[in-house]
Structure 1
Amino acid sequence: MSETSMTGATALRVEKAGPLATLQDAGRFGVRRMGVTQGGPADLHAFAWANHLLGNAWGAAMLEITLGGLTLIAERDLRLALCGADLSATTDGEPLEPWQAFTLHKGQRLAFGIPRAGVRAYLAVPGGFQGSPVLGSLSCVTREGLGGHSGAGTPLAEGESLRVDADALAGASVGEARTVPMEERLDYLAPAVLGLIPGAQIADFTGPSLFRAFHAEWRVDARADRMGVRLTGPRLECRLAGMISEGIALGAVQVPPDGQPIALLNDRQTVGGYPRLGTLTPLACARLAQCQPGQAVHLTSVALGAAQSDYRRFLAALQA
């Protein structure tokens, strides 16, 4: 996107890009019939809290910073919120803890180092970062070349800038101290217990496989990204010899012929032909998105009604 096509005020300049920092809003919906995936924050829990700390509208666009390595320079005084992974963040070399709102003054440097806990941090600004929506969303999906700060599905690059609504900045309270309640600050180093709604082809898996699926300890494989997370553990066996491809929802847990489950996340394909144990809840997907390679994961069966009730409570608390 050219400088002349952008609106708003310059807020942050990228001094060092890091491995993957992208703009994400709530996601791109109503387009899967065209083969376009949803994008959006991999960790909806941290994303929602970062916007909530600043009083933003639900789904306002923010930075998703994966594995650190990003350095930003403030081009003006800014009120920001940082939630999610502990990526060794500093402001002018001073440690900055996540799960809080803070002020970054013009010329100050905000840097993210190596991950201490979790994988993805979320940086919000009053009113959300600006860009040109693609198919109704700013969410960046690099595989499809859609959205993001540039509109072309690219992660942040050195020398680029992020823009904001100057009026939203002017209305932000610079001195207000706001933090996320301690009970909402998840321990990303603890084994993850992921709620899974049984369904799809679960009846076609053998009895011993179903027992192992919900009683074994799984480990997050190094092959994990925004498309999906592979889990390694005991081999699961399915009686189906083959199946016609079906639509794939967020959190679908597919089991390919090697018997090792794959939990599909925000940038997943829109259809798939492997049998599925069921679907992780949205908050289970958020928790899995913060698991580092080698981390322990446990699957637990949850009823659809209970999962819906939990999710409604989460939305009611944070969509205000």
Structure 2
Amino acid sequence: MMLEVLQPGPLSLLQDKGRFGFQDQGITTGGPMDEHAYAWGNWLLGNSEDATQVEITLGMAAFLFHQSIKFALTGADLSASLDGKPIFPWFTYQAQAGSTLKFGRPCSGMRTYLSVQGGFKVGPVLGSTSTVCREGIGGLDGQGKKLEQGDQLPLRANVNRSTNKVPRWAIPDYEKPIKLGVILGYQCELFSDSAKQAFFSTPFRISQHSDRMGFRLEGQEIAADDYDLVSEGVGFGSIQIPPDGQPIVLMKDRQTIGGYPKIGALSSLCAGQLSQRRPGTKVFFTPMSLAQAESDLRLFRQVVSRR
């Protein structure tokens, strides 16, 4: 019982919720860039909340089902087809033994999540199957390799109660302008009022030099008053301002410590929305309270935990 990789595309990775409790050893969390899309995939199929999925970036991938199984796509629209017939994200589908799932070029968003009923049966490393290529950990072989042609992904035999589609109100539009809430941290005091005003009042564009480690932004230079800082732990969504004044939003495969001043951080849900935007997309920031971010995340988790 397996799913065979016929064509991996630019980047296809096995991901579960992530690897936690090891940042003090220099091991980052990994996990799905878009937690929203990942969680809805498991919700659709009645899977556990940390079931392993395939994160497919930019499409151009193909897979062969060696058994009949229900699967779901969530996240970006990567021009998917099942046995030559177009299919769309945020729905479940039934694959037959011998069915071929193909992805073309992106129509909307950057990353789609392929989940199967019961999840993929992959051995965890340090409690997680999440693939972090830079650190050589997780994934199919446990050594952090991205999926390659000929890889065979074992499937679990579980048959759970599933749902046909994600509610319309929960489906984001990745083509709309994006305004992200920023939770200001204690290092925001290193930025003048004029620097903070510029950060929140002018648009930035996503750079071509963005990946699972960090999204680099381009726009008006934002200067800090002090760059001589002691390195400290950094989290998903932290916004560093290096000496060139161009913000970097740290993502799932980030380094575990950093010494650049941080003006604030995105919530995990906001960082996930950023991860779906393509290079050149305009990004606006607005202040957000910690209470609001916690409320949004609590509500989201309550919804996706219901069956």
TM-score of the aligned structures, taking structure 2 as reference length? 0.98
Alignment of 1:264-279 (within 5 A): 264-279=250-265
Alignment of 1:133-212 (within 5 A): 133-166=124-157, 168=158, 171-172=159-160, 178-212=164-198
- 2:112 is the counterpart of 1:121: yes
Counterpart code for 1:258: D
Aligned partner of 1:27 in structure 2 is 18
- In 2, the alpha carbon distance for the partners of 1:284 and 1:299 equals 10
Aligned partner of 1:60 in structure 2 is 51
> Does the CA-based 8 Å contact 2:3-2:155 persist in structure 1?
no
Question: Percent of aligned positions with the same letter in both sequences?
Answer: 43
Match of 1:75 among 42, 49, 66: 66
Counterpart code for 1:260: Q
Aligned partner of 2:280 in structure 1 is 294
SS in 1 for 2:186: coil
Aligned partner of 1:226 in structure 2 is 212
Aligned partner of 1:43 in structure 2 is 34
- In 1, the alpha carbon distance for the partners of 2:227 and 2:126 equals 37
> Does the CA-based 8 Å contact 2:180-2:266 persist in structure 1?
yes
Aligned partner of 1:100 in structure 2 is 91
Aligned partner of 2:235 in structure 1 is 249
> Does the CA-based 8 Å contact 2:5-2:151 persist in structure 1?
yes
The one-character-per-residue Cα deviations of 1:122-157 (angstroms, maximum 9, x if unpaired) are 011122111111011000001001001221111111
Counterpart code for 2:72: A
- In 2, the alpha carbon distance for the partners of 1:318 and 1:298 equals 28
Aligned partner of 2:244 in structure 1 is 258
Counterpart code for 1:282: S
TM-score of the aligned structures, taking structure 1 as reference length? 0.94
Counterpart code for 2:274: L
> Does the CA-based 8 Å contact 1:57-1:319 persist in structure 2?
no
Shift of 1:237: 0.8
- In 1, the alpha carbon distance for the partners of 2:38 and 2:106 equals 17
- In 1, the alpha carbon distance for the partners of 2:26 and 2:53 equals 25
Shift of 1:241: 3.7
Shift of 1:201: 1.2
SS in 2 for 1:223: coil
- In 1, the alpha carbon distance for the partners of 2:163 and 2:118 equals 18
Unaligned regions of 5+ residues in structure 1, if any? 1-9
> Does the CA-based 8 Å contact 1:140-1:154 persist in structure 2?
yes
**Moved runs in structure 1, 4+ residues, more than 6 A?**
none
Counterpart code for 2:56: I
SS in 2 for 1:236: coil
- 2:198 is the counterpart of 1:216: no
SS in 1 for 2:76: strand
Shift of 1:209: 1.3
- In 1, the alpha carbon distance for the partners of 2:287 and 2:49 equals 29
- In 2, the alpha carbon distance for the partners of 1:280 and 1:35 equals 22
Shift of 1:177: 5.8
- In 1, the alpha carbon distance for the partners of 2:18 and 2:44 equals 20
Aligned partner of 2:100 in structure 1 is 109
Pairwise CA RMSD: 1.1
> Does the CA-based 8 Å contact 2:227-2:260 persist in structure 1?
no
Shift of 1:319: 2.2
Shift of 1:200: 3.2
Count of aligned positions: 306
1:52–1:139 CA distance, 2 compared to 1 (3 A): same
Which sits farther off after the overlay, 256-265 or 186-195? 186-195
